[in-house]
Amino acid sequence: MVLPVAMGWRHLLFANWPVAPALVDAHLPAGLEPDTYDGRAWLSIVPFRNVVVRPRGTSARLGFGLPELNLRTYVRCDGTPGVYFFSLDADGVLGVLAARLFHRLPYYNARIEMGLGAKHVRFESERRHPGAPSASFAGRYEPVGEAFAPDPDSLAAFLTERYRYYTTGRRGELRYADIVHDRWSLRPATMTIDRNTLFEANGFEPPAAAPVCYYSPGVDVVTSRSRRW
């Protein structure tokens, strides 16, 4: 049995591009369907830092940290909403191997530099995973508005208030884990991208629309063990 995990997520950017649902549907495993808001599916790039990652119930002193960059979308399985990850790049070989082995998540080892300025966050990632498609990202993001808690029916809530992720196992079976954390505190954000090949690395053309961006200082998180659907 895989142990559930406790951790913190810090200095997150949610950069969200609207796309046609059929575009997402073509990349999903059987059993999942795109979740939509006003008729549109979404692809999101989320850079942040994991902190004090550890088995749930153990001391925070045993935890470790690693920066992460993921490309995700929003799905439903028999009506239950969640997140589906196309890729997760992280700077930490042991953490990447554990997530791939025990939680069946598509993690890739990467060299990541994350710097905190007076007002902005600088984030650069270069995938180093043997045999994996190359993927890189470099940019900066900055909160620019007042903090708010998203209304339940808003786009901001649709894109952030997700409490389950889905993935596939070794034999292609659908799996899931539940996520528990406080509601997000968000701020509008601006983003400047210098380099981004995450879409191409996952078989997508870069979306033409401008992204909708939110920043959060973060939340503390616990997950369930990975279960077969």
User: Tens of pLDDT along 38-74?
Assistant: 999 999 999 999 999 998 888 888 888 999 999 999 9
For 140-172, how does the pLDDT look when each residue is reduced to its tens digit (9 = 90+)?
999 999 999 999 999 999 999 999 999 998 888
Contact 223, 8 (CB under 8 A): no
Alpha helix (H) residue ranges in 121-162: 155-160
Instruction: Residue 153: give its domain's CATH number.
Output: 2.40.400.10
Residue 229 lies in a domain: no
Q: Is residue 152 situated within a structural domain?
A: yes
Does any domain span residue 228? no
Taking the mean position of all CA atoms in its chain, how far away is CA 190? 18
Domain count, the chain: 1
On whether residue 148 sits in a domain, the answer given is yes
In this structure, what token pair is assigned to residue 77? 């399985």
| Residue-number span of the structural domain to which 21 is assigned | 5-221
- Dist CA 81 CA 174 (whole Å): 14
Position 89 confidence tier, pLDDT thresholds 50, 70, 90: very high
Asked if residues 161 and 184 have their Cβ atoms less than 8 Å apart, the reply is yes
Is 74 part of any domain? yes
32 is a domain residue: yes
**Largest CA-CA distance found in the chain, in angstroms, rounded:** 47
CA 190/CA 213 separation, integer angstroms? 6
Q: Which tokens go with 89?
A: 């790049």
Mean pLDDT, range 89-98, rounded to an integer: 87
Q: Out of 2-16, 34-48, 67-81, which region has the weakest mean confidence (pLDDT)?
A: 2-16
- 209: helix, strand or coil: coil
Tens digits of residue pLDDT in 165-208: 999 988 889 999 999 999 999 999 999 999 999 999 999 999 99
Rounded distance between C-alpha atoms, residue 106 and residue 71, angstroms: 10
Measured in degrees and rounded to the nearest 5, phi and psi for residue 25 equal -55, -35
> Does residue 226 belong to any structural domain of this protein?
no
Instruction: Tell me whether residue 227 is in a domain.
Output: no
